[in-house]
Structure 1
């Protein structure tokens, strides 16, 4: 069922329920009022019957004639019965064609008056004493006029109820449609957005209602989708380009080598060139595999305590072997007194990769100038601050540094694939950590890795 129909149905049901309660109260009040009014009339008829039968001699002719005139205005199906108090109840019930309840007789004896309604018949009685003899004067009648009026009222209320339901349905339908029209427009617009027109956005208003929030949420989602598609497209283009270059070089060298017979030395030179490009291709594929590994969730990750100062020294030793000319220095001036503050929980291999990427980039893009690695700790986190004085990153390109294969314009002549920071970013995110990069073009870069220490609750997340 559509929301518009649900809103209409709920609105009609709620208002109809309230109206049914009100109409029911009105009808019950009318029934009670009609019943009480008829009992008043019937009591008066009972008193008239008592006066006409027992007080005729005490009344003047004029008053008596007036009573007779009133008495002639009988009620529908009116009957009068006079019994002595000692008359058997079975006889009274037989002549009345109804069994009067015991409460009726009790009220007659104790209160000198009683009334009761049985079915459509009303009964009124008084206990009158004349010449030391007590009599029951009982008058019975049917309220035909009242019943007819109540029937008309009931029919009118039912008709009004049905008519109101119809009107409420139309009103509810109108307002539900009017309320949900903006939502329908949002759905219609969203359905027109495809991969080819992800740049389009929903129309926003100045209102602060839920529909405005929904519109803004959709636009934010479209922003993220557009960015994701651009990143994916760039990734595919860059990956294809980087994979194609070594393959092209390998095919070119082998094709040239096969054009004619060559000396062993020439074949060795060709094979060395093929090996170089194959190693380049292997390094690229390994980088892709490492990047893909960080896309997985925590399943399969071995989490162990890691002391970061020791790991940094190990990474520094590895870089010294590969690049002996580096000038990476480790600053222990803020070394904590409590060595436990240097321990984190994480995957040793991935943290090693992240630190190696940052330190290697700092040395590589600063042309082996001085690089300072500083460890700062507190009770909740460990910060590793890596400062270099290299080429820096242009301010308009910093937003792209976490995209795979992306390389800033001023470092494209430096060997690399653009995987270092994207991979490090995902590893930090996987370990509930963060990476912050501050850079000035031609002045240098500061990269800060922030890890929660072992005293904080650790959770692996994508």
Structure 2
């Protein structure tokens, strides 16, 4: 059963309950009103008889001459009986088929309703009237309500289906567009915007935003795949060329050694590119976060890169502040390691590098700076894209994935990655973590030189 019919049945059920409750309320109100009118007429008849008697039970109310004035004042067909204090019937006007007990108040016996009034001087007056007219009116009302219920329910079903169809028509448009995109792959299509701020307008704008995000993701992944294929093609071409050249004719052992070394370098370059690609792919997923001390992260990364800095004559100045942030320690160390490796690779030989973890007004921050030649400000946004390097850095071996991986890790940790030119020359790269989730820590300064 589709959603339209389910909504129609739900609305029909609600309509049925509302109509039944309304009919029941009408019936109860009508019965109460008719009964109240009957009771008022009986009380009026008993009061008229009591006024006629004027406290004397022995005064006659019946007979042609005496009963005419009283009969003219009685509402409708009302029978009156007068009883002595001992309960003996002493007079009556009209005929009543029942004999209700002498008890003050209202009582129904069979189809007749009786009101009994106690006289001040003793004795009783009973006014009796048939309920047949009230019951006939109620029966007619039940028939009218029953006959009117079926058309109302049918109208409710039809109206519910039409309303459900009108309400779900934009959803059908969304479903058809999604099916069309899935079948044709044309993810550039968009839904026509719905004016207003209702649910369908929000649904349409949300679907369009999702398609926009999906389209940009697909285009980025296509560009990434093309760039990855290009980057991997270069070392593979070198491998194949070296192998073909060595197999052309017999070579000297020295030539084979040189070829194998070139093959090993190309294979190592390709392996680094593949590992960076895998790390970049994993960084787009979710990872369990736990409290990590930024001071320990930067200290371990600097210790691991210390031999590379020593070989280039570079000095690393480490200033770690102990700050706890929710992070995945493995991917965070990988990101900081890439930042430091970039500073060592593109920085000045024999230059200075600064690594610090600090707490600032917005949260916590890891910063890696160098005093190298740096980059023009116009290239800062481009070099954080996959497989992109700055002009003048093309001779450096590498896949150009380091900064792209750092930015992906920053997004995974809801942090902000920024790259800026230092006023004194060189580059400054930082990871800024939001204030939410930070724990206070003590400050520890350990400069290394």
Could you tell me the TM-score, scaled by structure 2's length?
0.73
Asked whether the 8 Å contact 1:357–1:420 carries over to 2, the reply is: yes
In the other structure, the counterpart of 1:359 is: 340
Q: 1:164-202 CA distances to partner (integer Å, 9 max, x unpaired)?
A: 333333333333333333333223223222372111222
Alpha-carbon shift at residue 317 of structure 1 (Å): 2.5
Alpha-carbon shift at residue 420 of structure 1 (Å): 0.4
In the other structure, the counterpart of 2:111 is: 120
Alpha-carbon shift at residue 421 of structure 1 (Å): 1.3
In the other structure, the counterpart of 2:268 is: 279
Secondary structure of the 1:416 match is coil
Q: 1:203-235 CA distances to partner (integer Å, 9 max, x unpaired)?
A: 224422232222222222222222222233233
Q: 1:258-312 CA distances to partner (integer Å, 9 max, x unpaired)?
A: 3333333333333233223222233333334444554665469996774466446
Asked whether the 8 Å contact 1:328–1:363 carries over to 2, the reply is: no
Match of 1:174 among 153, 162, 173: 162
Alpha-carbon shift at residue 453 of structure 1 (Å): 10
In the other structure, the counterpart of 2:236 is: 247
In the other structure, the counterpart of 1:92 is: none
Q: 1:192 to 1:345 in 2, by over 3 A?
A: closer
Q: How far apart are the structure 1 equivalents of 2:118 and 2:315? A: 121
Match of 2:416 among 413, 434, 442: 434
Asked whether the 8 Å contact 2:87–2:102 carries over to 1, the reply is: no
Q: 1:341 to 1:168 in 2, by over 3 A?
A: same
In the other structure, the counterpart of 2:429 is: 447
In the other structure, the counterpart of 2:188 is: 199
1:143-158 superposed matches below 5 A:
143-158=131-146
Q: 1:273 to 1:144 in 2, by over 3 A?
A: same
In the other structure, the counterpart of 2:384 is: 401
Secondary structure of the 2:158 match is helix
Q: How far apart are the structure 2 equivalents of 1:376 and 1:57? A: 113
Q: 1:350 to 1:48 in 2, by over 3 A?
A: closer
Q: How far apart are the structure 2 equivalents of 1:349 and 1:431? A: 12
Asked whether the 8 Å contact 1:122–1:140 carries over to 2, the reply is: yes
Secondary structure of the 2:419 match is strand
Correspondence 1:384 to 2:372: no
What are structure 1's unaligned runs of at least 5 residues? 90-95, 108-113
Q: Number of matched residues?
A: 425
Q: How far apart are the structure 1 equivalents of 2:433 and 2:63? A: 113
In the other structure, the counterpart of 1:34 is: 34
Q: How far apart are the structure 1 equivalents of 2:436 and 2:159? A: 63
Q: How far apart are the structure 1 equivalents of 2:302 and 2:146? A: 89
Asked whether the 8 Å contact 1:382–1:453 carries over to 2, the reply is: no
Q: 1:386 to 1:120 in 2, by over 3 A?
A: farther
Q: How far apart are the structure 2 equivalents of 1:221 and 1:188? A: 16
1:121-270 superposed matches below 5 A:
121-125=112-116, 138=126, 140-194=128-182, 196-270=185-259
Q: How far apart are the structure 1 equivalents of 2:23 and 2:214? A: 56
Alpha-carbon shift at residue 367 of structure 1 (Å): 7.0
Match of 1:373 among 343, 354, 366: 354
In the other structure, the counterpart of 1:111 is: none
Asked whether the 8 Å contact 2:288–2:328 carries over to 1, the reply is: no
Q: 1:30 to 1:455 in 2, by over 3 A?
A: closer
Query: What is the RMSD of the two structures over their aligned residues, measured on CA atoms?
Result: 4.7
In the other structure, the counterpart of 2:103 is: 106
What are structure 2's unaligned runs of at least 5 residues? 90-95, 441-449
Q: How far apart are the structure 2 equivalents of 1:427 and 1:215? A: 32
Asked whether the 8 Å contact 2:298–2:355 carries over to 1, the reply is: no
Q: How far apart are the structure 1 equivalents of 2:40 and 2:436? A: 90
Secondary structure of the 1:277 match is helix
Q: 1:199 to 1:367 in 2, by over 3 A?
A: farther
